[in-house]
Copies of this chain bind each other. A is one copy, B any other.
């Protein structure tokens, strides 16, 4: 039905000195070797214990709130040193021990094959009925996902380095050229759709080529992104425009971190004035509580919150119509967020949350449309940028 085409044409190779030429497989090689070595070490330790007739074990750092600490100098969430030993010869641990080894083996396969899989794919890959029994290796994906996270932290390798990816969401456009798997992506010429941010944004897959942009504007939803893109905001303000489909997935967070770290771009977040918006900001900035391990590679402690602010109701002279009453759950969440160690010492954030609670209502970015369709792109964000009026 189809003709085989050559896998790469010469023009597809990057010629910029800032990027590594060649296919992603070549670029990945070193990092993959390192990850493979870690998996091998895990395997060897188990074999060694077994041959010495000792009970084989794996030590899994604990991913609990109590083992999560806010590192004040680095300003990110970090995992503490508590670990749990998972033994083979322990009835309550044997299955999880087996699952850990099985998934490690699966990741080894993936890396050696130079392929990637989704979490669901990984579940299926490692799924089989254990010979001579009716017992399955996993009852469902809810069993394999956490074991994969265990593996991630115990190996000290991001999920992406294990060749496993999370859901893909998010869009980018603006004054930057990326190289993605050897293809040159000119984000200045991405029409109305934009470039779809990959689920794996490691340097092995994504390299930065040419960037004139001076900052990144990250917005919460793709509907807002479309408004900014349609108004060519990234062009008139020389920036990069991203969105993460609500709570940004790992790929988006990793990309933001790399844009900040490698290109020195400030990250400004335009999110709703509600606990969910504040939480999204918190995850972008400090990392997530459940996966504190990833913060060191994904968090952007210098990210700034550009709005929506509780004072905007008055400052922007909005009408009562934009008020959305806070629910009891919102109030509880807001109080929890105010007590996060990275918010608790920040007076401006304390005032912000207090004011929202005093208002008794939340506001969405879209509420600015009541002023004018393009008020947010032509007035609101430009003013905040001009006045450098951000929450940190």
16 contacts between A and B (CB under 8 A): A1-B386, A2-B214, A5-B238, A7-B232, A7-B235, A116-B226, A116-B230, A121-B223, A124-B321, A180-B190, A183-B190, A183-B191, A184-B189, A185-B190, A191-B198, A194-B196
Please report the C-alpha to C-alpha distance between residue A189 and residue B205 in the assembled complex, in whole angstroms: 14
- On whether the beta carbons of A121 and B369 are closer than 8 Å, the reply is yes
Q: Is A113 an interface residue (CB 8 A)?
A: yes
- On whether the beta carbons of B319 and A118 are closer than 8 Å, the reply is no
- On whether the beta carbons of A239 and B2 are closer than 8 Å, the reply is yes
Q: Is A144 an interface residue (CB 8 A)?
A: no
Q: Is A62 an interface residue (CB 8 A)?
A: no
Q: Is A328 an interface residue (CB 8 A)?
A: no
A-B residue pairs, 4 tightest by C-beta = A180-B191, A118-B223, A193-B198, A2-B238
Please report the C-alpha to C-alpha distance between residue A118 and residue B192 in the assembled complex, in whole angstroms: 14
Please report the C-alpha to C-alpha distance between residue A185 and residue B223 in the assembled complex, in whole angstroms: 21
- On whether the beta carbons of B193 and A197 are closer than 8 Å, the reply is yes
Residues of A within 8 A of B (CB): 1-5, 7, 12, 24, 109-110, 113, 115-118, 120-121, 123-125, 127-129, 136, 165, 167-168, 171, 178-185, 189-200, 205-206, 214, 222-223, 226-227, 230-232, 235-239, 319-322, 364, 366-367, 369-370, 373-374, 385-386
Q: Which residue of B lies closest to A194 (CB)?
A: B196
- On whether the beta carbons of B113 and A373 are closer than 8 Å, the reply is yes
Complex contacts, A366 vs chain B, CB 8 Å: 118, 120-121, 123-124
CB distance from A205 to the nearest CB of B (A): 6
Please report the C-alpha to C-alpha distance between residue A190 and residue B185 in the assembled complex, in whole angstroms: 7
**Contact A236:B2 (CB < 8 A) given known A115-B373, A116-B230, A191-B198:** yes
Please report the C-alpha to C-alpha distance between residue A180 and residue B180 in the assembled complex, in whole angstroms: 20
- On whether the beta carbons of A235 and B124 are closer than 8 Å, the reply is no
CB distance from A341 to the nearest CB of B (A): 33
CB distance from A272 to the nearest CB of B (A): 11
- On whether the beta carbons of A189 and B12 are closer than 8 Å, the reply is yes
CB distance from A211 to the nearest CB of B (A): 14
Please report the C-alpha to C-alpha distance between residue A248 and residue B96 in the assembled complex, in whole angstroms: 37
Q: Which residue of B lies closest to A189 (CB)?
A: B183
Complex contacts, A2 vs chain B, CB 8 Å: 214, 236-239
- On whether the beta carbons of A182 and B191 are closer than 8 Å, the reply is yes
Please report the C-alpha to C-alpha distance between residue A5 and residue B5 in the assembled complex, in whole angstroms: 39
Tell me which of A124, A136, A205 has the highest count of chain B C-beta atoms within 10 A of its own C-beta: A124
Q: Which residue of B lies closest to A197 (CB)?
A: B193
Please report the C-alpha to C-alpha distance between residue A121 and residue B367 in the assembled complex, in whole angstroms: 8
Please report the C-alpha to C-alpha distance between residue A120 and residue B224 in the assembled complex, in whole angstroms: 10
